[in-house]
Amino acid sequence: MTTTAASQPLGYRVLNPATGEVVQTFPTATDAEIQAALESSHQAYALWKEVPIADRAKIVARVGQLFGERAAELGAIITEEMGKPASQAKGEAEFCEDIFEYFATNGPELAADQPITPIGGGRAVIQKLPVGPLLGIMPWNYPYYQVARFAAPNLMLGNTIILKHAESCPKSALAIQSIMDDAGVPAGTYINLFATHDQIADIIADPRLQGVSLTGSERAGSKIGEIAGRNLKKAVLELGGSDPYVILDAADVKAAAADAWGVRMENTGQACNSNKRMIVMDDIFDEFVGELANQAQGLVPGSPSEEAEGTFAPLSSRVAAEGLAAQLQDAVDKGATLHAGGRLMDGPAAYIEPAVLSGVTKEMRAYYEELFGPVAVVYKVTSDDEALALANDTPYGLGGAVFSTDEARARKVAERLETGMSNVNAYAGEGADMPFGGVKRSGFGRELGPLGMDEFVNKRLFYIGE
Ligand code: NAD
């Protein structure tokens, strides 16, 4: 039987946002299953941490290979679950192979003892030891990549993992569990759980659990951070963003605008570090906005599984599309200019036309809130200082980029961005080896690169006296 979004059941389910139909539902875990998972994770930890890191690396590398081998089928699952265009969905699964490979290759060195020379004599090293069972709480926007960022370094370290995925991603969550099992990750070392929010609070409170990593919204971050704090558990929070994308000047304004649009449309605008605020110098502003509007004009809804020129994909859910439409309406009602798009298509599917918006002021929700969808918001500035002040006028601090034909000029602004990632003449330095994370209300902690293996670690001093 299929139901529509209006009668959408709560809990874990595949709800195709391109049709609004519920395809499959999954039962949530019982409390007994939660307790069994905690015990199993605890017991698996005692064994997994004793496996030599070189042997853990072989299993972690195999996990990566399976992501690569299964990329097409993995991609199809998330296209149905959250509407990601097919080529991007497959690409995401392939990128996970790079992430597991990076940590399998570099993990032994990153976890190696760090010698120090004690001033008072004796011998000392800092050891990088695992801490125990960890909980990962993940969002729907990159269902594989987010899990890979958390799981790869922690499996290498010898930690064990309980994974609670987004309610809209049960099939991809199970596909990841299959990959772990098939790659030889021992039973109990990686456990997918369809847990409720109440059960998540119980898991965090359980003395066997040693840490929690959440990627998601500010709202969820403050809740999970509060529960973790109350229970004295280490937390990593990877939250939302409203990244500035500053264009001080450009040799080819149309090309710069087309690039900016391409970045903004990645994952239909649902990336935490998307260029949500384009900040453009006044002398090129009109040409820049004109080209954005040109790109947005005439697009029609398309199937994310059969990508075609001139089409756009749905958002992850009807609720998300309606929420974005309300943010746009608020801006337009208060005087912003909608240059193109922005129409919410009739339900129950989750289509909203990609839009270009300017004239956003502080009175509008769009100024400080994250717009999690295909909307290019463009601000006009008259100086580099004004661009910088606007770039930093946000509660978020995830990433940011500054562009100029004069690298030194762009660098001067980029050096002063209050963000966890700052880029010059590039949208983002992204890769398995590039640390990712933010400051301010974008959260704390880092994933990927060398810093990604430095979070859930007991950096133990080991001292031998003379
Ligand atoms: P969300 O916060 O609604 O959900 C994220 C996860 O947290 C889900 O698994 C959800 O079930 C769980 N969750 C939410 N409230 C909870 C609670 N009270 N107790 C237990 N679990 C809870 O976020 P979303 O809509 O799935 O993801 C989009 C958000 O994620 C955006 O804000 C985006 O910017 C952010 N994001 C950040 C990064 C990053 O690295 N900084 C990466 C991707 C996405």
Q: What is the pLDDT of residues 69-97, one digit of tens each?
A: 999 999 999 999 999 999 999 999 999 99
Residue 7 has pLDDT above 90, yes or no: no
Ligand 1 midpoint to CA 429 (Å): 23
**Predicted local distance difference test score (pLDDT) of residue 8:** 41
Of the candidates 234, 209, 233, the one whose C-alpha atom is nearest the C-alpha of residue 45 is: 209
**Overall average pLDDT of the 109-126 stretch:** 97
290, burial (CB in 10 Å: exposed 0-12, middle 13-18, buried 19+): middle
220 Cβ closer than 6 Å to some ligand 1 atom? yes
- pLDDT tens sequence across 140-186: 999 999 999 999 999 999 999 999 999 999 999 999 999 999 999 99
For residue 370, the ligand 1 atom closest to its alpha carbon is 32
The domain 244-431 having CATH identifier 3.40.309.10: the answer here is yes
Of the candidates 243, 208, 177, the one whose C-alpha atom is nearest the C-alpha of residue 427 is: 243
In sequence order, which residues have a C-beta less than 8 Å from that of residue 130 and are 6 or more positions away?
45, 48, 49, 154, 157, 158, 159, 456, 457, 458
Asked if the peptide bond before residue 374 counts as cis, ω within 30 degrees of 0, the response is: no
**Predicted local distance difference test score (pLDDT) of residue 347:** 86
223 Cβ closer than 6 Å to some ligand 1 atom? yes
46, burial (CB in 10 Å: exposed 0-12, middle 13-18, buried 19+): exposed
Phi, psi of 339 (to 5 degrees): -85, -25
Three-class DSSP labels, 257-285: HHHHHHHHHHHHHCCCCCCCEEEEEHHHH
**Predicted local distance difference test score (pLDDT) of residue 4:** 40
Structure tokens at 339: 């240059």
- pLDDT tens sequence across 262-282: 999 999 999 999 999 999 999
Superfamily of domain 3-239+444-464: Aldehyde Dehydrogenase; Chain A, domain 1 (3.40.605.10)
Confidence (pTM): 0.96
Ligand 1 midpoint to CA 62 (Å): 28
**Overall average pLDDT of the 395-404 stretch:** 98
- CA dist., res. 86 & res. 302, Å (int): 12
Of the candidates 114, 111, 54, the one whose C-alpha atom is nearest the C-alpha of residue 462 is: 114
Ligand 1 midpoint to CA 367 (Å): 21
**Predicted local distance difference test score (pLDDT) of residue 2:** 37
200 Cβ closer than 6 Å to some ligand 1 atom? yes
**Predicted local distance difference test score (pLDDT) of residue 9:** 43
For residue 216, the ligand 1 atom closest to its alpha carbon is 30
Ligand 1 midpoint to CA 165 (Å): 9
Residue with tokens 């008072």: 120
Q: Ligand 1, from 13, 147, 176, 217: best to mutate by most atoms within 8 Å of Cβ? A: 217
Distances (CA, A) of 309 to 85, 258, 340, 438: 12, 15, 18, 34
**Predicted local distance difference test score (pLDDT) of residue 10:** 65
Structure tokens at 406: 């004069």
Band the pLDDT of 428: cuts 50, 70, 90: very high
206, burial (CB in 10 Å: exposed 0-12, middle 13-18, buried 19+): buried
**Predicted local distance difference test score (pLDDT) of residue 305:** 97
Of the candidates 177, 189, 200, the one whose C-alpha atom is nearest the C-alpha of residue 132 is: 189
For residue 438, the ligand 1 atom closest to its alpha carbon is 41
Nearest CA to ligand 1 atom 10: 166
Of the candidates 357, 368, 363, 372, the one whose C-alpha atom is nearest the C-alpha of residue 390 is: 368
- pLDDT tens sequence across 329-366: 999 999 999 999 999 999 899 999 999 999 999 999 99
Q: Kindly list the domain boundaries of the chain, sorted by start residue.
A: 3-239+444-464, 244-431
- CA dist., res. 59 & res. 64, Å (int): 9
Positions marked catalytic: 238, 272
For strands 234-238 and 160-164, give the pairing: unpaired
- CA dist., res. 209 & res. 443, Å (int): 21
